Structure 1
Amino acid sequence: MLLEKQGIVGLPNVGKSSFFNALTNSSAPSENFPFCTIDPEEARVEVPDPRIDVLYKLYNSSKKVPAYLTCIDIAGLVKGAHEGQGLGNAFLSHIRAVDGIFHLCRAFDDADVIHVEGAVDPVRDLEIIHTELRLKDCELITKHYESKGRDVARLGVNGDKSKKEEFAAVKKIYEWVVEKKKDARTGDWTGKEIDIINEFQLITAKPVVYLCNLSEKDYARKKNKWLPKIKAWIDENYPGDVLIPYSGTFENALSQLETEAERTDYCAQLAAKHEITVPIISVLPKIITTGYSALRLFYFFTCGPMEVRCWTIRQGTKAPQAAGVIHTDFEKGFIMAEIMKYTDLIELGSEAAVKAAGKYMMKGRETVITDGDIIHFKAGQVNASKK
């Protein structure tokens, strides 16, 4: 089972722990002073998807098991963190251990909430965090570059070819990240170079989703003076990355309400207060699904009267490996995958109708699984290895 983790990263007092609390409905401390969070808080959040509820009813199942995303609240970084400022070394090691990043910045003024840099400027804050992460990568890459360079020099012209190729790959990464001051995720890499980047666990190789914490009023009005500047910065430096505005104040207020009726009433009152005619809704489901997708994850379904379950796999996974997520013996003894599309099942109404329409497919080892496939695997008996 894949247990990929999204780390919540940003300066102190930008709303990371409050966001984590609302996201996970937990109770991580969120006091108004830097380094309130020292040890990272971790929680699994359900990936929202109405399809599992539809399938649950269609199959009259006893249980449903959604997909999950693990989120980690990492303490705030400050300028100089790569050199150990604040509690930088510990925090950066926590970031190295996650698979993707929610990069959270603050775009609201509040005299009661201290800003570690003295004033609100989310573009400056984004630059600070990116610089600290890249400089920490530079430190690691430089050590490997110098060490492997010395090894190759000792070997001479007739030395081990594989070591020379490895050094050439490290040199290319060094030139991109250290000399050109670029994030690893923006480079053009070969398979071998990607393996090295993964081995180094480079922080700047991790996918990033940007979150902008607004005041409740700005979120309701969908207006904030910083949003266009943040979007322009992202488009210039990391084109294609997603920016999601949200309001920690709004989301935490919603999370404290127990019923859907109470939440609906609160949103209606907020809209009336700010003279908003469009519905005000939580953006947390979008944040979760975006973070999940940023890790190149999706899931297929297994369905029956006992349960409907989501099984998380990575994009490009073939049928035997998908079967192995359920049980390793299913991959070893893989025979075929019986697959139907969710859209076909919903359109036609039953498995029998899908089969009658010729849309129930028998697929082999080279089949690449796609999002939302409903699969029944067939596998042979796997004999225990003889000693």
Structure 2
Amino acid sequence: MPPKKQTEEKKVLLGRPGNNLKAGIVGLANVGKSTSFQAITRSPLGNPANYPFATIDPEEARVIVPSPRFDELCAIYNKTASKVPAHLTVYDIAGLSKGASAGEGLGNAFLSHIRAVDSIYQVVRCFDDAEIIHIEGDVDPVRDLEIISTELGLKDVEFCEKALEAAEKIAKRGGQSLEVKQKKEEAELIKRIIELIQSGQRVANQTWTPKEVEIINTMMLLTAKPCIYLINLSEKDYIRKKNKHLLRIKEWVDKHSPGDLIIPFSVPLEEKLSHMSEEEAAEELKKLGTVSALPKIITTMRQKLDLISFFTCGPDEVREWTIRRGTKAPQAAGVIHNDLMNTFILAQVTKYEDAIEYKDEAAVKAAGKLQQKGKDYVVEDGDIIYF
């Protein structure tokens, strides 16, 4: 008999499904969080001030995603009236303080706002400035990392204990029903998660089976969100790529958040650049011998969220759309409009590389590079699609 065909287990992603995913900027009070938000979003929103809890309600802005591919396609379709780049939605969330998990300061608001986003930019202060008060009295980034890790972990343990209580209530009924069996497995998983969090680890940095991910997603855990650590340096330290705290931060992240990225940047520099034209900013960076960290900050978060792009191109508009990796053609069409998903027939797909090579729709078609795809087609990063 021929060997049984191996069916590949479908990857289930941590976090909520969907394509409209959001990132939140978090950190202790007075670490440069709101000013970071203004710099990243090039937005006058936010409320930077030299006292704790200047930001109470989360501010929201959309950040344009740097995209050389979008720029190339706009150059090919240079008669287009409209050019719409992809964006990432970013929130500035109230500053955390020690005891937030118990509701101190603005703790409950802070933690509920983190629960509502899909990923975290954690701003860590590494600059000395006597005029900007640190809520803990002095600059110690590893202590700050410990505080946030502890507060998020304590809240997650609280969420887990409630979920465990509900699962065990059904599991204790006994019997051989499928529901009882599932709840017993769920209870065992939750116990493992509690142990993991109490050991100082994050849920997002572990390997889980698709079945386990489905259970974890229902709990909306704070430590299950992808995280990027933004290390806020003085302009001088950023340009010379040196700071006395960086090695200690790396050691902490490697131990407690393995695999997560550390991106040094300078809020004073980015803020200065945000008030310049593109040409002036480029000239300033050239003079300083450095680059802006913002493009990396934005594109890296998209990768963390497993987001990719497809394009729609025509005489009226070039547009870059954001979807999660693994999205099928009808659902990708639904990002444009629900009607396109509900009435989906087929997708005409051109690969980005072919569009760049042939530079003309008719030439692409003549070369046999225009593909027709059905409902089961999984959209690939860079596809140019006509639904």
Pairwise same-fold verdict (TM > 0.5): yes
CA deviation vs aligned residue, 1:60-104 (integer Å, no higher than 9, x gap): 211011111111111111222111122111110110010000011
Q: How much has 1:175 moved relative to structure 2?
A: 2.0
Partner of 2:12: none
Q: Establish whether residue 297 from structure 1 lines up as the match of residue 315 from structure 2.
A: no
Q: How does 1:22-33 map to 2 (within 5 A)?
A: 22-27=39-44, 28-33=46-51
Q: Establish whether residue 249 from structure 1 lines up as the match of residue 259 from structure 2.
A: no
Is residue 339–residue 363 contact of structure 1 (8 Å, CA) maintained in 2? yes
Q: How much has 1:151 moved relative to structure 2?
A: 2.9
- Structure 2 CA distance for aligned equivalents of residues 107 and 204 of structure 1: 23
CA deviation vs aligned residue, 1:114-151 (integer Å, no higher than 9, x gap): 11222212122112111111110100110121232123
Partner of 2:9: none
CA deviation vs aligned residue, 1:270-329 (integer Å, no higher than 9, x gap): x2xxxxxxx322111211111122111111001000101112110111122212222233
Partner of 1:74: 93
Partner of 1:223: 242
AA aligned to 1:174 is K
- Structure 2 CA distance for aligned equivalents of residues 325 and 230 of structure 1: 39
CA deviation vs aligned residue, 1:194-238 (integer Å, no higher than 9, x gap): 222222211111111111000000111111122222223222333
Of residues 203, 209, 226 in structure 2, which corresponds to 1:190?
209
Of residues 18, 35, 44 in structure 1, which corresponds to 2:62?
44
- Structure 2 CA distance for aligned equivalents of residues 93 and 350 of structure 1: 49
Change (3 A) 1:325 1:170: farther
AA aligned to 1:218 is D
3-state SS of the aligned residue for 2:121? strand
Q: How much has 1:179 moved relative to structure 2?
A: 5.7
- Structure 2 CA distance for aligned equivalents of residues 2 and 317 of structure 1: 9
AA aligned to 2:284 is Y
Q: Establish whether residue 56 from structure 1 lines up as the match of residue 40 from structure 2.
A: no
Partner of 1:381: none
Change (3 A) 1:179 1:261: closer
Which portions of structure 1, spanning 4 or more consecutive aligned residues, are displaced by more than 6 angstroms?
none
- Structure 1 CA distance for aligned equivalents of residues 31 and 208 of structure 2: 34
**Matched residues, percent identical?**
54
Partner of 2:128: 109
Q: Establish whether residue 92 from structure 1 lines up as the match of residue 111 from structure 2.
A: yes
Q: What is the TM-score with the length of structure 2 in the denominator? A: 0.89
AA aligned to 1:162 is E
Which residues of structure 2 form unaligned runs of 5+? Answer: 1-17
Q: How does 1:307-386 map to 2 (within 5 A)?
A: 307-377=317-387
3-state SS of the aligned residue for 1:127? helix
CA deviation vs aligned residue, 1:143-177 (integer Å, no higher than 9, x gap): 12123212322x2234x422431342243133223
Is residue 336–residue 363 contact of structure 1 (8 Å, CA) maintained in 2? yes
CA deviation vs aligned residue, 1:310-366 (integer Å, no higher than 9, x gap): 121101111222122222333233332211111121122222222233322222222
- Structure 2 CA distance for aligned equivalents of residues 88 and 238 of structure 1: 22
- Structure 2 CA distance for aligned equivalents of residues 82 and 124 of structure 1: 17
3-state SS of the aligned residue for 1:334? coil
Partner of 1:276: none
Change (3 A) 1:299 1:261: closer
Is residue 153–residue 197 contact of structure 2 (8 Å, CA) maintained in 1? no
Is residue 205–residue 258 contact of structure 2 (8 Å, CA) maintained in 1? no
Is residue 9–residue 73 contact of structure 1 (8 Å, CA) maintained in 2? yes
Partner of 1:165: 182
3-state SS of the aligned residue for 1:197? helix
Is residue 8–residue 101 contact of structure 1 (8 Å, CA) maintained in 2? yes
Change (3 A) 1:333 1:216: same
3-state SS of the aligned residue for 1:228? helix
- Structure 1 CA distance for aligned equivalents of residues 376 and 247 of structure 2: 45
Change (3 A) 1:31 1:189: same
Is residue 170–residue 196 contact of structure 1 (8 Å, CA) maintained in 2? no
Change (3 A) 1:179 1:191: closer
Is residue 176–residue 187 contact of structure 1 (8 Å, CA) maintained in 2? no
Which residues of structure 1 form unaligned runs of 5+? Answer: 272-278, 378-387
Change (3 A) 1:224 1:172: same
- Structure 2 CA distance for aligned equivalents of residues 330 and 364 of structure 1: 13
RMSD: 1.8
- Structure 1 CA distance for aligned equivalents of residues 183 and 380 of structure 2: 34
- Structure 2 CA distance for aligned equivalents of residues 55 and 123 of structure 1: 44
